[in-house]
Structure 1
Amino acid sequence: MSQRLTSAVAALALTGACLSLTAPPTRAQEVTLTVHHFLSAKAVNHAEMIEPWAERITEASDGRIAFEIFPSMSMGGAPPELFQQVRDGVADIIWTVLGYTPGVFPHAEVFNLPSVHTGSALVTNLAIQDLMDGPLAADFEDVHPLLVHVHAGQALHTTDVAVRSIADVQGLKLRVPSRSGTWMIEAMGAEPVGMPVPEVPQALSQGVLDGAFIPFEVALPLRVIDIAKHHTELAGGHRFGTTTFLLAMNKDRYESLPEDLRAIIDAHSGEALAREAGRVWDAVEPRVIAMAEARGNEVIYLDDAASAPFLDAFAETEARWLEEMAAKGIDGEALLAAAKAAVARHDHERPTP
């Protein structure tokens, strides 16, 4: 790490910009791990996943592992730089969106497809875990993945246009969450606009965007439910795809830990954390939907007939993804089949509405 960056991190710590999680140790503290991400300390990823996860590891290690969590890019840089930061050791651990570094995770991208994700973060998280040691492994060779997961899926939030049919999205400028999201929006006849999610509220307020595909849990801390007047949901629990996230640790930092401390991190990562994160994300969506309705916003639930043209757009997106995988020499057909089979295998764990 450069002297300049080290000094910047030290200054942040002194000014309280980072959130330190250290339990009173019963044994001498041996390791302090920095965690960097792009959302605020009030967001679900921080308050209900990363912070409790860090606390559990600190407790399980009898205080030998401590964490300093830097939300809101407070270690510096922009969200698309987070993967590079953890790969290069600028941060010990990061949480980021895979789509912020296009082309780096071609296999894991399959779970972004709206035809794969079926509306439950828990179900898709467990499906991802099934493939982590198989077809997805090649995407994460440069880091130590702690968790690859999704949120509950995108709803469509619009400022002025109430979307009750696919005709209503024609020509709208909609924020795109990923490459496959771009294809989905194009298949709907709308105009995709790519941007990191923290920029969405201002873009909606200024009319740069007519709407955005984000989950309700993100719409709450970003105050999108205060800006958007309409929220559209599909029939049958479908969502407009999802976003795949990565919680990863610098590979050298992980491997430098004593074996017993690595074992503690392992025990609190992977499938165990996938289940916890899935439950958190699934549970928060109905709560925020109720909050949007209480604000007087219109939540539109499309019936099967109105949803069908959107599902056709999902199929077009899938076909386009398969063409690109073939061009890259990746067996997209096999990967897509494996992802859908894994989702179906865990569908019985879908939470009851």
Structure 2
Amino acid sequence: MKKTLITAAVALLGSSAALAEEPIILKVAHFWPPTAMSQQKVLEPWCAKIEQESAGRMKCQIYPAMQLGGTPPQLIQQVQDGVADIVWTLPGYTAGRYPSMEVFELPFMTNRAEPASRAAWHYYEQFGKEDFAKVKPLAFHVHDEGYVHNNKHPITKLSDFRGLKMRAPTRLTNKMIAAFGATPVAMPLPAVAEAVSKGVVDGYVLPWEVIPAVKLHEMTKFHSETDKSMPSLYTALFIVAMNPAKYDSLPADLKKVIDANSGADFSASIGKAWDVSAPPAREKAVERGNEFAMISAEELGKWRKVTDKLASSWVKEMDGKGYKGQAMLDTAKSLIQKYNAQ
């Protein structure tokens, strides 16, 4: 009898030890296909790094293409509610909910994504914490230069936008499209290919990397790029966010692993991944024989005069919501300039 009890106790202890060694699985959700750069060049290496630095005690289970259900605009709520432990999405998919970080989506704000993404994190630390108090941000970043793509005709001047229905990702990019004379149509990335194929929209604004990821290069005729001497026509702001309760549940040493792999450096590394992604993605459209146009610096100067009004109205809107609009705009520009120079 005593031997049986000892055997049972040993088995119980062994079982408890095994349970204690079970790794913590982080559910990571996003809207891109699994073949996209964002998963293969950013999320997968990041997950491998936290697994290595936690000695295998933390691992990711990645759910691409909205595999946990819902729509891309619901991702930020999913991480807040704990449906996912970590998400990667655009705050701008929920228009008006996170106004403090919108400043990075104003036209002609950025050049390269890497320095602008580092700037975005430091800007968040000054102005964005209240807006994002219900999630734990791990990174903020922007994509590289956004261009204009359509199926009607080459776009090289403002008048070329007239009569076009153009998709844009966020509130401010839609305002930009409207200011240019086109009809803006808001939709998240996964809906764009179908909208283009069915003629719901005539074109869209996107950076190069995502175009072959959703096969848009196969259904687009004309691509209009901007003179490199000018700032980017536009960019969009992204967040990698964690559920606060999940983070709080981690042991102190595992929290340190998450902390060491989030913040300004992680943000900048994502921006860098976008910067280097453009040439190979662009080549896909070249190989198909699509038509390319270059918008001159002189012409872009005219576009910039039009969009300067968007910045002024954004400042007034922020002031009306109790934010410090001009200080936010000035700080964003200053930080971008600072990190561009490094």
For the residue of structure 2 that corresponds to 1:329, the secondary structure is coil
The alpha carbon displacement at 1:237 in A equals: 4.4
CA distance in 1 between partners of 2:230 and 2:270 (Å): 19
Q: Which one-letter code corresponds to 2:61 in the other structure?
A: E
Q: Which one-letter code corresponds to 2:306 in the other structure?
A: A
Does residue 290 (structure 1) correspond to residue 290 (structure 2)? The answer is no
Does residue 82 (structure 1) correspond to residue 75 (structure 2)? The answer is yes
The aligned counterpart of 2:152 is 160
- Runs (4+) of structure 1 exceeding 4 A deviation are none
**Structure 1 residues 265-284: aligned runs within 5 Å:** 265-284=258-277
TM value normalised by structure 2: 0.91
Whether the aligned pair in 1 keeps the contact of 2:140 and 2:237 (CA below 8 Å) is yes
**Structure 1 residues 15-94: aligned runs within 5 Å:** 28-94=21-87
Structure 2: gaps of 5 or more residues: 1-19
The alpha carbon displacement at 1:309 in A equals: 2.0
**Structure 1 residues 259-270: aligned runs within 5 Å:** 259-270=252-263
For the residue of structure 1 that corresponds to 2:92, the secondary structure is helix
For the residue of structure 1 that corresponds to 2:27, the secondary structure is strand
The alpha carbon displacement at 1:224 in A equals: 1.1
For the residue of structure 1 that corresponds to 2:341, the secondary structure is helix
CA distance in 1 between partners of 2:304 and 2:99 (Å): 23
CA distance in 2 between partners of 1:28 and 1:217 (Å): 40
Q: Which one-letter code corresponds to 2:191 in the other structure?
A: E
Q: Which one-letter code corresponds to 1:293 in the other structure?
A: V
User: What is the root-mean-square deviation in Å for CA atoms of aligned residues?
Assistant: 1.5
For the residue of structure 1 that corresponds to 2:184, the secondary structure is strand
The aligned counterpart of 2:16 is none
Q: Percent identity?
A: 37
Q: Which one-letter code corresponds to 1:61 in the other structure?
A: S
**Structure 1 residues 102-113: aligned runs within 5 Å:** 102-113=95-106
For the residue of structure 2 that corresponds to 1:287, the secondary structure is helix
For the residue of structure 2 that corresponds to 1:134, the secondary structure is helix
| Equivalent in 103, 106, 113 of residue 121 of structure 1 | 113
Whether the aligned pair in 2 keeps the contact of 1:29 and 1:65 (CA below 8 Å) is no
Q: Which one-letter code corresponds to 1:115 in the other structure?
A: F
Does residue 169 (structure 1) correspond to residue 177 (structure 2)? The answer is no
The alpha carbon displacement at 1:37 in A equals: 0.9
CA distance in 1 between partners of 2:111 and 2:202 (Å): 24
The aligned counterpart of 1:11 is none
The aligned counterpart of 2:174 is 182
Q: Which one-letter code corresponds to 1:180 in the other structure?
A: L
The aligned counterpart of 1:221 is 213
TM value normalised by structure 1: 0.88
Whether the aligned pair in 2 keeps the contact of 1:184 and 1:316 (CA below 8 Å) is no
The aligned counterpart of 1:14 is none
**Structure 1 residues 132-151: aligned runs within 5 Å:** 132-151=124-143
